[in-house]
């Protein structure tokens, strides 16, 4: 290689390195190309006429069929608000009660983080992506196997989420299989999640007693009951129904405790098409929406305007086997249609996407997660649950995928943002300058330099090098890079927003199993 060629290559590399360094530098929040709460709502699989037809069917279902198995406390609460309790044990709701409830239901509330910079404001068409689920396995990519998930895994996942810009909240994605006692399970899951991230946390409770004990712990972390009620940074993911059209008695009792304790609730209806919901996608949307309206009546009869997420969360079945098919095109349509129903009723809504049937982070995982997540975002779904890290039709959670999927969600959010059209972006004057006064290309133009950070999203792990460059830098592999990043985060990220003093107080009052040593850098 000649000296001149060497100098040219060096200049090219230096310029490329400088551009990479510029792109890697943190951006101010107001100029970031993507951020929590981008406005979706452009994708609408249901026509206006279809929505009206579903709405009328919902009113009929609630007034004529109703829901069974409500606890006595729930029966008393709902009938006091105007519901009727029949001799067949079913609670029914009139169209006027539905209308009154929708009029008083909370809108545009805040889901707080432990740090207010992580507060999120769902509602309207604003989109937020996060974790969720009850996977019973951790996907061990390095050994290509599934093992039982444990408490440390939940803490590790929350620490990783703390570092990911495009994952906006942390709902516990795994079950700590090493916690045999239900009270230990609920308390320790919550504390592991809260210790790892300052973002909003969602979790579930197995009994009303466990929910109350968890509220007692949350008040200590918040600094008192008044501070907790002012900024509740945990929400209760509550499967208040057992589809089709039955209340889940014990979960309803948990929900009542959470509402009285000032905790936002996710009203989660999780029927499976062809099994616990109609095989017809429209019928599944209709049933899930009716069940969630019943839940909304329950909540607002207790506490008008209490923050409640309308969690239509139905799943698709592969009707050849009956197995769940969370990564299917039908699931993507189902989730987007649910988002339309949320918008129709004007409520803050959540549903699931990104639930790959693939067992590992592979091409199948990529297309399943990409399709379902981008359609959920484009539909304007407020809270996209289970969007990252999930595999095996919700049976496995993968830390490497959590990191890879952060890149994927970045691209989804860019699609949600759409294209801004104005005199400046149409670029007529820029074309005139380049074509009649300039070099005939846009590479060095001021508009290009201004927009390279605010108009475009760059992957953190994804590879965009040429084949030649890829070979020169050692043929990097995406999964290997994600594993290296996982180890880097877990060896260096130990959040300390819960002080040592509060940690000691909590351990003195509650049976915390996560070792202190696991929460501090060695």
pLDDT in tens, 480-505: 999 999 999 999 999 999 999 999 99
Q: Give me the chain's average pLDDT, please.
A: 94
pLDDT in tens, 238-276: 999 999 999 999 999 999 999 999 999 999 999 999 999
**Is it true that the peptide bond before 171 is cis, omega within 30 degrees of 0?**
no
DSSP state of 422: S
DSSP state of 272: B
pLDDT value of position 28: 72
Are the C-beta atoms of 147 and 140 separated by less than 8 Å?
Answer: yes
How many beta carbons lie within 10 A of that of residue 53, not counting itself? 14
pLDDT value of position 1: 47
CATH code of the region 32-418+458-522:
3.20.20.480
| Positions in the chain whose pLDDT score sits under 50 | 1-2, 4-12, 522
pLDDT value of position 317: 87
Are the C-beta atoms of 291 and 339 separated by less than 8 Å?
Answer: no
How far apart, in whole angstroms, are the C-alpha atoms of residue 55 and residue 51?
6
How far apart, in whole angstroms, are the C-alpha atoms of residue 412 and residue 372?
10
pLDDT in tens, 195-225: 999 999 999 999 999 999 999 999 999 999 9
pLDDT value of position 10: 47
pLDDT value of position 3: 53
Which residues have CB under 8 Å from 186's CB, separation 6+?
203, 204, 205, 206, 207, 210, 211, 213, 214
Bridge partners for 384 per DSSP:
129, 351
Bridge partners for 174 per DSSP:
135
Q: In whole angstroms, how far apart are CA 167 and each of 196, 368, 405, 408, 482?
A: 14, 18, 9, 11, 16
């Amino acid at each position: 290689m000649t000296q001149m060629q060497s100098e040219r290559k060096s200049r090219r590399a230096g310029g490329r390195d400088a551009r990479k360094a510029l792109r890697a530098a943190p951006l101010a929040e107001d100029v970031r190309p993507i951020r929590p709460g981008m406005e979706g709502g452009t994708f609408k699989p249901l026509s206006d006429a279809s929505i009206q037809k579903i709405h009328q069917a919902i009113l009929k279902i609630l007034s004529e069929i109703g829901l069974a198995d409500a606890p006595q406390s729930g029966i008393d609460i709902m009938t006091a608000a105007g519901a009727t309790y029949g001799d067949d044990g079913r609670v029914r709701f009139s169209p006027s009660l539905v209308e009154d409830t929708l009029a008083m239901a909370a809108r545009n509330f805040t889901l707080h983080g432990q740090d207010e910079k992580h507060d999120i404001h769902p509602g309207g068409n604003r989109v937020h992506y996060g974790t969720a689920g009850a996977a019973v396995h951790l996907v061990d990519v390095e050994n290509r196997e599934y093992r039982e998930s444990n408490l440390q895994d939940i803490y590790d996942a929350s620490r990783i989420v703390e570092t990911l810009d495009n994952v906006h909240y942390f709902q516990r994605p795994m079950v700590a299989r090493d916690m045999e006692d239900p009270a230990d399970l609920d308390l320790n899951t919550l504390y592991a999640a809260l210790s790892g991230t300052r973002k909003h946390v969602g979790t579930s409770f197995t009994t009303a007693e466990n929910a109350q004990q968890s509220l007692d712990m949350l008040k200590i972390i918040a600094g008192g009951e008044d501070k907790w009620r002012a900024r509740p940074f945990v929400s209760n993911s509550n499967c208040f129904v057992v589809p089709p059209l039955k209340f889940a008695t014990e979960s309803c009792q948990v929900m009542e405790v959470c509402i009285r304790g000032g905790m936002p609730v996710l009203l989660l209806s999780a029927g499976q098409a062809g099994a616990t919901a109609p095989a017809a996608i429209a019928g599944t949307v209709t049933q899930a929406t009716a069940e969630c309206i019943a839940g909304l009546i329950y909540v607002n009869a207790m506490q008008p305007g209490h923050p409640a997420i309308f969690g239509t969360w139905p799943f698709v079945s592969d009707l050849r086997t009956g197995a769940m098919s969370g990564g299917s095109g039908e699931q993507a349509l189902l989730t987007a249609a649910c988002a339309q129903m949320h918008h129709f009723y004007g409520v803050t809504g959540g549903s699931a996407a990104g639930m790959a049937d693939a067992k590992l982070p592979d091409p199948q995982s990529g297309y399943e997660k990409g399709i379902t997540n981008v359609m959920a975002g484009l539909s304007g779904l407020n809270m996209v649950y289970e969007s990252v890290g999930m595999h095996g039709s919700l049976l496995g959670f993968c830390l490497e995928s959590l990191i890879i999927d952060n890149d994927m969600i970045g691209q989804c959010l860019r699609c949600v943002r759409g294209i801004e059209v104005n005199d400046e972006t149409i670029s007529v004057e820029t074309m005139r300058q380049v074509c009649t006064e300039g070099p005939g290309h846009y590479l060095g133009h001021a508009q290009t330099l201004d927009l390279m950070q605010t108009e475009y999203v760059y992957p953190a792990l994804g590879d965009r090098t040429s084949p030649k460059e890829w070979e020169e830098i050692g043929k990097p592999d995406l999964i290997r890079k994600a594993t290296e990043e996982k180890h880097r985060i877990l060896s260096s990220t130990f959040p300390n927003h819960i002080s040592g003093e509060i940690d000691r107080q909590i351990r003195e009052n509650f049976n915390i199993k996560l070792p202190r040593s696991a929460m501090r850098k060695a």
